[in-house]
Amino acid sequence: MRIADTIKRGSRSLRAAKLRTLLTALAIAVGAFTLSLTLAASNGLHDYTNKLIANNLDPAELIVGRDKYIKSGAATASEPQEYSDSVSSVSVGGKTSVQIKQVTEDDANSIRLKPYIEQVRENYQITIRYISREGQKKYTGSVQAYSSAQKPELDAGKLTGGDLPSQGVLLPDSYVSLLGFKDAQDAVGKTILIDVQQPFSTSTLQELLTSNQTVAQLAASNAAKAKDEVFEYKITAVSKKTATSIAVGIEPVRISNPDARKLYDFTAKGTGDYNRFLFVSARVKDGTNESKLNSAKADLEKEGYFVESSKDIEKTITQFVNILTIMVGVFGLITVIASVFGIVNTQYISVLERTREIGLMKALGMARHEISELFMIEATWIGLLGGLIGSIGGLILGAALNPYLTKKLDLGKGNSLLIYRPLQMIILIAALMLVATIAGLLPARKAAKLDPIEALRTE
């Protein structure tokens, strides 16, 4: 019998027992449904992670630190560390602090001298008092140095080149109405004020303590007061808060690297942490070439630095996504495995019900392997039907829930939690058909081994 005839005959046999076939296929459909949603969610989260990294990190840059705890995914120290002048307590969430060995100015300069390094950017920790505008209220905030690796979505204005202009500022849209601007476009070109405070240096305190002044005189003197200074910046552009921004909470105001250094010098000079940084960003020459980036990374690690690339950070994030995907996928696989027993049971019942038919086919000259193929093809049909029902069901439910889930998780415009890929769906259905075919192997062998005479005598 030709294979095409066998396929048609198998299809007719299944249609003769529609309800039983449908119930068996539904068991596979549940697994297909779970696996299709799992694959779609994995695609969506990986796509979002890729955008998150691409919009915030330069693929040619390496993040270089002196402490292993600056690496993504590394746990903070649980035991006291060996003392070093460069170890400093860093506040976490305003409640606890961790001791981290920092990169010194000498370290940064040493990295700059490497022949494969194009640029080094220090990670300035700048503390400000407030952000305001002439005639407006004062608001809290934070300031960061702008990086050309960042790709902010602009509400107004434009950015050109690898840095902001001198005295230029990228203002988050959350400040627009607060500072009295009509809209983002109205803010562009206008001036804002950033107030910072200079801390007491050790030498200043020593001078005050040895000045022979009374407590009242010290309190009244300007020397005992922290020095404030207001810096003016012109708004170059206004940025929107996006779902692919790494910033936690309120978006920071961003200024050029030279301006950030000026504020940093004013607010940190004289303190114990001056010219010490949690990490520096080192741009590698032709760093988009993975082999050159890895070579630079290996060389820096030999000198005792802890180094991460954007791909390392991406791997750390996707590792959690992969673990979650596997955990959910296991439930789908368990359902598929359970459905195998359903197919075996259904096909055994079919063999028993069609014993006389099998005997007749053998008596008419049908070979054993053709009998076996017939029942295995019937099992394959069940796998195809279950795979199609589950995958299409997952696709329909995903399309219905996608807008809601994307909005609920605040993934932002242009992102989706569930992304279906046709090739994955085809492979999934093909895999389920293969599983069903294997499940039909035992009943098929039983049918092939039936004695035709004994089969014809069966009532």
Condensed to tens digits (0 to 9), the pLDDT of residues 308-358 reads 988 888 888 888 888 888 888 888 888 888 888 888 888 777 777 777 777
Q: What percent of the chain has pLDDT over 90?
A: 24
Within a domain: 174: yes
Q: 385 with 249, same domain? A: no
CB atoms near residue 257 (< 10 Å): 18
Give the SS3 label for residue 68: helix
Within a domain: 69: no
Q: 245 with 330, same domain? A: no
User: Can you give the pLDDT at residue 335?
Assistant: 81
Rounded CA separation 36/329 (Å) = 9
Rounded CA separation 358/450 (Å) = 8
Of 43, 64, 102, 130, nearest to 308 by C-alpha is: 64
Q: 446 with 343, same domain? A: yes
Region of poorest pLDDT, from 170-184, 207-221, 257-271, 287-301: 207-221
Q: 232 with 334, same domain? A: no
Q: 225 with 334, same domain? A: no
Rounded CA separation 227/230 (Å) = 10
* DSSP letter for each residue of 408-449: HTT--TT--S----HHHHHHHHHHHHHHHHHHTHHHHHHHHH
Contact 339, 431 (CB under 8 A): no
Number of helices (H), then strands (E), in the chain: 14, 15
Rounded CA separation 57/64 (Å) = 14
Per residue in 102-121, pLDDT (tens digit) is 888 999 999 999 999 998 99
Within a domain: 297: no
User: Can you give the pLDDT at residue 112?
Assistant: 92
Contact 391, 425 (CB under 8 A): yes
Region of poorest pLDDT, from 129-143, 177-191, 237-251, 366-380: 237-251
Largest Cα–Cα separation, the chain: 122
Residue 6 has pLDDT above 80, yes or no: no
CA angle 443, 446, 448 (to 5 degrees): 110
Q: 260 with 351, same domain? A: no
The residue-averaged pLDDT of 294-300 equals: 92
Burial zone of 354 (CB within 10 Å; 0-12 exposed, 13-18 middle, 19+ buried):
buried
User: Can you give the pLDDT at residue 94?
Assistant: 47
The residue-averaged pLDDT of 200-224 equals: 54
Starting at the edge strand found earlier in the chain, the sheet holding 306-309 runs 117-122, 280-284, 61-65, 306-309
Query: β-pairing, 168-172 with 227-239?
Result: parallel
Q: 352 with 446, same domain? A: yes
Question: Where are the extended beta strands (E) located within 256-386?
Answer: 276-277, 280-284, 306-309
The radius of gyration of the chain from alpha carbons, rounded to an integer in Å, stands at 34
User: Can you give the pLDDT at residue 426?
Assistant: 93
Q: 321 with 421, same domain? A: yes
Within a domain: 278: no
Q: 254 with 377, same domain? A: no
Query: Which structural domain range is residue 139 located in?
Result: 126-272
Q: 358 with 444, same domain? A: yes
Contact 183, 176 (CB under 8 A): yes
Q: Is residue 27 very low, low, confident or very high in pLDDT (cuts 50, 70, 90)? A: confident
Within a domain: 218: yes
Q: 352 with 420, same domain? A: yes
Rounded CA separation 432/232 (Å) = 66
Report the mean per-residue pLDDT for the chain: 81
Q: What percent of the chain has pLDDT over 70?
A: 81
User: Can you give the pLDDT at residue 406?
Assistant: 78
- Which of the two residues, 422 and 225, has the higher pLDDT score? 422
User: Can you give the pLDDT at residue 90?
Assistant: 59
CB atoms near residue 94 (< 10 Å): 6
- Could you give the number of structural domains in the chain? 2
Within a domain: 42: yes
Helix (H), strand (E) at residue 96? strand 96-101
Q: 248 with 360, same domain? A: no
* DSSP letter for each residue of 183-205: SHHHHTT-EEEEEEEEPPPHHHH
Residue entry with tokens 């696709």:
395
Last residue in a domain, options 272, 297, 326 = 272
Residue type for position 68: K
Last residue in a domain, options 244, 272, 300 = 272
Rounded CA separation 368/374 (Å) = 10
Within a domain: 412: yes
Within a domain: 96: no
Contact 70, 103 (CB under 8 A): no
Rounded CA separation 87/66 (Å) = 9
Burial zone of 310 (CB within 10 Å; 0-12 exposed, 13-18 middle, 19+ buried):
buried
Residue entry with tokens 């415009």:
413
Q: Is residue 67 very low, low, confident or very high in pLDDT (cuts 50, 70, 90)? A: confident
User: Can you give the pLDDT at residue 151?
Assistant: 77
User: Can you give the pLDDT at residue 299?
Assistant: 92
